[in-house]
Amino acid sequence: MRSVIWYLREFLRAPWVHAFLFARTAPLVTPSHFRDYPTLTDVECTHCFSCRMICPAPGAIEVLQEGGAWHPVIHRGHCLRCGLCVEACPEGVLASGRILRWQEEDRTSFRATFRIQVDHAKCMRCGNCCVSCPVNKEQDPQMAGGGHSSNDEVIMRIAGGNHTVIHEERCVGCRTCEEGCPNSAIRVARILEGVQGVAER
């Protein structure tokens, strides 16, 4: 009996009756503040690859050239929708939810530095890393197998029978050298720092 009274009191309340008779399920709309898959804005991409270097998910973002223009491509299903690429882009090419607007208002950004670490005990001085490095390729297009170079502007080269890193600061963190190394001797550390109120590079 107590339960019956309880249920009557619970379900004969005006808000409940109103909801029972007139409630409509709200349409399933993604709110504008949801951090969805990044979309492209109209800003031109400078293919600096910052978005690719910060992305935590393997194979989620690529920067491709199509008809002379570069633009990032998001692979859905790989993308975690974390929004780090949106924050990392210095130009504001990508947008997701309110991240881009907030970033401009708060002047927040990520600062990435890249460090090259070579295990000389494992390194065979084959020069694969130096040859595969895209920055090296730009500086010294003549660099061939062996990784020798007379150009002092390259990131790294094989000199005097040893692997030497000359311009670590030029590294863009793409890790191509890691993939090309037959002995896992070279590693690139991507060091990330969240900053506010600092002018972007």
Partner 1 sequence: MKKVVDVSIPLGPVHPCWKEPARIKCETRGEKVLSAEVELGYMKKGIERIMKGRPWQEVLFLAERVCGICSVIHNMVFIEGMEAISGITVPDRAAYLRVVVNELDRIQSHLLANFSFCYTIEHETLAMYLLNTRERAMDSLERITGARVNKAYMIPGGVRFDLRDADRAALCADLDHMEEAVNRYARMFEGGPLIATRAKGVGILTREQARIARAVGPTARASGIAEDLRLAHPTYRRLQFAPIVRTEGDNFARIMVRFQEIFQSIMLVRQCLHDLPAGPIRGGGTCGAGETVSRGEAPRGELSYFIRSDEYGRITDIAIRTPSIMNIDACTHYMLPGVTSLADVTSVFVSADPCIACNER
Among 18, 34, 69, 91, binds partner 1 (CB under 8 A): 34
> Rounded distance, CA 5 to CA 50, Å?
65
Q: Distance between CA 12 and CA 135 in Å, rounded?
A: 73
Query: Judged by CB under 8 A, does residue 183 bind partner 1?
Result: no
Residue selected from 4, 20, 29, 31 as contacting partner 1 according to rule CB under 8 A: 31
Residue 3 interacting with partner 1 (CB under 8 A): yes
Residue 40 or 192: the one with the smaller Cβ distance to partner 1 is 192
Query: Can you read off the two tokens belonging to residue 73?
Result: 């491509």
Find out whether 73 and 83 touch, Cβ atoms under 8 Å: no
Q: Contact, 170 vs 155, CB < 8 A?
A: yes
Q: Which is nearer to partner 1, 73 or 192 (CB)?
A: 192
Which single residue is written with the structure tokens 């090296």?
A: 136
Q: Taking CB under 8 A as the rule, does residue 132 contact partner 1? A: no
CA 130, distance to chain mean position in Å, is 24
Query: Considering beta carbons, is residue 56 or 141 the nearer one to partner 1?
Result: 56
Tokens of 84: 């780090």
Q: Which residues bind partner 1 (CB under 8 A)?
A: 2-3, 6, 10, 31, 33-35, 54, 56-57, 80-84, 87, 96-99, 102, 106, 108, 111, 113, 115, 117, 189-198
